[in-house]
Each structure stands twice: as C-alpha cells, then as structure tokens.
C-alpha cells in the first residue's frame, strides 16, 4: 500500500516574496470524490495528467496511490466529472537537503500560500525555512479538497 507522510505549513507572505525560487508550475486540480475518509483527485499540468486516490489522514500519514494519465484524459475528467476544482502555482524549493512544495493558490483561494514537505517517517527531523509561518498539518480547512468547497476567500 502506498503511503504519504506529509507536513503542511502556512507561508509568511512578505518573506516568501524575497525567496529565490524556480519557475512555478500551474496546476488545475479537481475532485471526483471528496469524502471524509477518501478523495479521488485529477490533476492537470501543462503537459501531464495524474489520477490520485488518498485515504483518511492519521497524523501526517495517509494512504496514497498516484498514476500518471494522458493530459487529454485528465482535462476530460476535469471538464466532465469533477465535482469541485481549484487552481494553484506550485514551486519546488530545495532547503537543507529536502524539497518543499509551495502552493500559491488562485481564484477563490487567492492569498493563501501553503508549503508541504514529504518525510520518510513522522519522526523524521528537518530544518524549517525562515519563510515558514506556522504548522497546519491535520487542520482540515487547509486540505485542497476542502478548499474547493470552502475557499479561503469565504473564511
């Protein structure tokens, strides 16, 4: 069974603006199923599509299965079957031998910037960049699937 161990943090906006970062990648992301125990997500980049199934989170860990699919099929799934959707720009930033994925949300979630780090275990130690504000791991309102139904602009 695939497992994802991920911690999630809010990003300090002003400090983030000063970070040297690579070009971001636009994601269009929609959900075929958003259930408290599981989600089925479709993600589309400029060149790739992905189908992802995630289970219930326990701490920072949950089941995850991700499959690359043709971009044309991902677009079709998003257009015809998605029950909710969001867009964001993702930056992959290296810091102290780890990759941080930083999402700047668009549309109804504009203004929200969230950073995630994947770990090998929940106990794994890692350095936190100065541009991190506070940890929100386990806070459901920051789950992407929740942001499609209850966007940041409505908080």
| Active site positions, annotated | 31
Spatial distance between the Cα atoms of 37 and 141, rounded to a whole number of angstroms: 15
In whole angstroms, give the CA distance from residue 26 to residue 71.
13
Do the beta carbons of residue 22 and residue 92 sit within 8 Å? Answer: yes
Which residues in 130-145 are b (16+ Cβ under 10 Å) and which e? ebbeeebeeeeebbbb
**CA–CA dist 53, 60 (Å, integer):** 16
């Amino acid at each position: 069974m695939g497992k994802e161990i991920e911690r999630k943090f809010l990003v300090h906006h002003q400090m983030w603006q000063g970070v040297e970062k690579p070009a971001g990648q636009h994601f269009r992301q929609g959900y075929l199923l958003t259930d408290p125990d599981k989600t089925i997500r479709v993600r589309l980049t400029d060149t790739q599509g992905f189908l992802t199934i995630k289970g219930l989170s326990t701490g920072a860990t949950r089941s995850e299965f991700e499959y690359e699919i043709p971009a044309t099929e991902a677009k079709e799934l998003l257009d015809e079957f998605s029950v909710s959707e969001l867009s964001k720009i993702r930056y992959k930033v290296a810091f102290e031998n780890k990759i941080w994925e930083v999402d700047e949300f668009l549309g109804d979630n504009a203004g929200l910037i969230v950073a995630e780090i994947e770990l090998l275990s929940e106990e794994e130690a890692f350095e936190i960049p100065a541009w991190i504000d506070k940890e929100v791991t386990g806070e459901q309102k920051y789950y992407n699937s929740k942001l499609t139904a209850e966007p940041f602009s409505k908080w």
